[in-house]
């Protein structure tokens, strides 16, 4: 009973954690991404959007740009993954508008304050370079009027490490302009218009969002984008929809599902779940050994009765079935009680959340639980199978008793 209950509770908690992680990751990203091979810029994305939206089960689409860059605020300089999104359609493919914990999804795009040095500087341009990098060393609060700056949204951990808040202005540096020895990077100033939190450290510590047109200017992509994000009415249909898109659109476009983008994480979580199942099954194995010992003691205590049954015509198979049934009854009752106990504990946790977690350490304030019928069925089969295996040896020993010897000495 205790072994089955522990196994059911552990599997339910693992299911809950996997579900929470998956929902938060999918909330920050889309179900599908359409790009070209090697993620070359996608220039004809306007033509692809109507075709994609006609694919069955596609309920939202939005273009995006994703690249790497650097952020500077005061003396803090951090690397970041910069993602340009369309504020009109990003809510169709992700939960970005709902996970902003400070500020708002307000990209005030204005390209008049973009700072970029010519690729072939003259003596006059050199003076501009010096003044530019002198500007970079100043306090970012003193940069140009904030009302003219485009907006940028930072992850909570990244904003914390840089010491920036909503309303602060910072500098974004893109390596796109670095084409030669004398070239300089693309540099643009932004105002922090919002801070988001997904609960996944890797996202909150690395990602920043800006308007699509600002990202196009920053990475010199003209009107092109990195790809198109799609949302489905059922995320579990992602593989089938991806195959459908590949058949309709074809080369040189490439579709990746949410599972493929995070293949390593979800494979490890699945492996971890089954590893816990195997380890906690040892508790049931220990209980099965107790069944073996108790059944052997029962055989020793019932020698006389077994001898009498055999003397009046009971067969070896009949004696063996008696002890097999006894072991199975013990296993069935223990398994049933364990399933009931595990279900009660999981239901109570899901309803009342009495097992809490420190919210400042974990992305959840409670221990998530998600019960699945398949887990209950697998645990039941494992427990009953081990019980049956444990009952075979005592039953065979009882069946092999010699009735003459037993009656003579009993």
pLDDT tens for each residue of the chain, 410 residues long: 998 999 999 899 988 888 888 877 777 788 899 988 877 888 888 888 888 888 898 898 899 999 999 999 988 889 999 999 988 888 888 888 888 988 888 776 443 333 333 333 333 333 333 333 333 433 444 344 445 789 999 999 999 999 999 989 999 988 876 666 666 778 889 999 999 988 778 888 899 999 999 999 888 888 889 999 999 988 888 888 988 888 888 788 888 888 888 888 788 888 888 888 788 788 888 888 888 888 888 888 888 888 888 888 888 888 899 889 988 898 999 999 999 999 999 999 988 888 887 755 666 778 889 999 998 998 999 899 988 888 888 888 888 887 777 666 65
Q: Are 359 and 228 members of one domain? A: no
Considering its fold, how many domains does the chain have in total? Answer: 2
Cut 0.95: pTM above it:
no
What lies within 8 Å, CB to CB, of 381 at 6+ separation is none
198 and 295 together in one domain: no
Let me know whether 195 and 278 are in one domain: no
309 and 196 part of one domain: no
The residue segments making up the domain with residue 68 are: 58-232
The span from the first CA to the last CA of the chain, in angstroms, equals 36
Residue 394 located in a structural domain: yes
* Bridge partners, residue 231, by sequence: 60
Residue 26 forms part of a structural domain: no
The C-alpha atoms of residue 199 and residue 28 are separated, in whole angstroms, by 10
- B/e letters for 265-285, b = 16+ CB within 10 Å, e = fewer, are bbeebeeebeeebeebbeebe
Q: Are residues 228 and 278 in the same domain?
A: no
Out of 232, 247, 277, a domain closes at 232
Do 174 and 285 have their domain in common? no
Structure tokens at 198: 């997904």
Residue 43: inside a domain, yes or no?
no
Identify whether residues 79 and 203 lie together within a single domain.
Answer: yes
Whether the Cβ atoms of residue 227 and residue 63 lie closer than 8 Å to each other: yes
Candidates 36, 56, 1, 63; CA nearest to 216 is 63
- Domain final residue, candidates 207, 232, 257: 232
**Is 44 inside any structural domain?**
no
Nearest to 158 by CA among 37, 70, 260: 70
């Amino acid at each position: 009973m205790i072994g089955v209950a522990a196994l059911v509770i552990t599997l339910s908690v693992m299911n809950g954690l996997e579900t929470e992680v998956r929902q938060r990751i999918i909330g920050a990203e889309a179900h599908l991404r359409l790009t070209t091979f090697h993620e070359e810029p996608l220039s004809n994305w306007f033509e692809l959007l109507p075709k994609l939206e006609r694919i069955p089960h596609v309920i939202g689409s939005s273009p995006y740009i994703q690249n790497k860059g650097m952020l500077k605020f005061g003396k803090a300089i951090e690397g970041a993954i910069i993602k340009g999104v369309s504020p009109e359609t990003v809510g169709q493919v992700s939960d970005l508008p709902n996970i902003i914990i400070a500020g708002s999804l307000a990209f005030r795009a204005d390209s008049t304050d973009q700072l970029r040095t010519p690729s072939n500087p003259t003596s006059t341009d050199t003076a501009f370079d010096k003044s530019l990098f002198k500007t970079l060393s100043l306090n970012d609060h003193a940069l140009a009027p904030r009302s003219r700056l485009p907006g940028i949204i930072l992850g909570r951990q990244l904003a914390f490490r840089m010491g920036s808040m909503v309303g602060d202005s910072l500098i974004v540096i893109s390596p796109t302009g670095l084409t030669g020895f004398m070239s300089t990077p693309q540099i643009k100033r932004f105002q922090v218009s919002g801070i988001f939190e997904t609960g996944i450290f890797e996202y909150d510590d690395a990602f920043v969002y800006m308007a699509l047109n600002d990202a196009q200017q920053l990475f010199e992509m003209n009107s092109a984008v990195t790809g198109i994000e799609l949302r489905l009415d059922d995320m579990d249909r992602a593989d089938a929809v991806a195959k459908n898109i590949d058949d309709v659109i074809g080369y040189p476009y490439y579709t990746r599902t949410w599972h493929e983008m995070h293949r390593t994480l979800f494979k490890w979580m699945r492996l971890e779940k089954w590893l816990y199942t195997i380890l906690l099954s040892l508790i049931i194995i220990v209980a099965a050994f107790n069944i073996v010992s108790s059944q052997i003691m029962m055989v020793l205590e019932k020698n006389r009765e077994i001898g009498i049954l055999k003397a009046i015509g009971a067969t070896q198979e009949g004696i063996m079935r008696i002890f097999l049934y006894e072991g199975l009854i013990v296993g069935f009752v223990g398994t049933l009680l364990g399933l009931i106990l595990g279900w009660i504990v999981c239901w109570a946790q899901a309803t009342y959340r009495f097992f809490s977690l420190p919210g400042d350490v974990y992305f959840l304030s409670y221990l998530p639980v998600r019960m699945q019928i398949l887990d209950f069925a697998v645990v039941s089969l494992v427990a009953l199978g081990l019980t049956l295996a444990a009952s075979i040896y005592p039953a065979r020993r009882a069946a092999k008793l010699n009735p003459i010897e037993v009656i003579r000495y009993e």
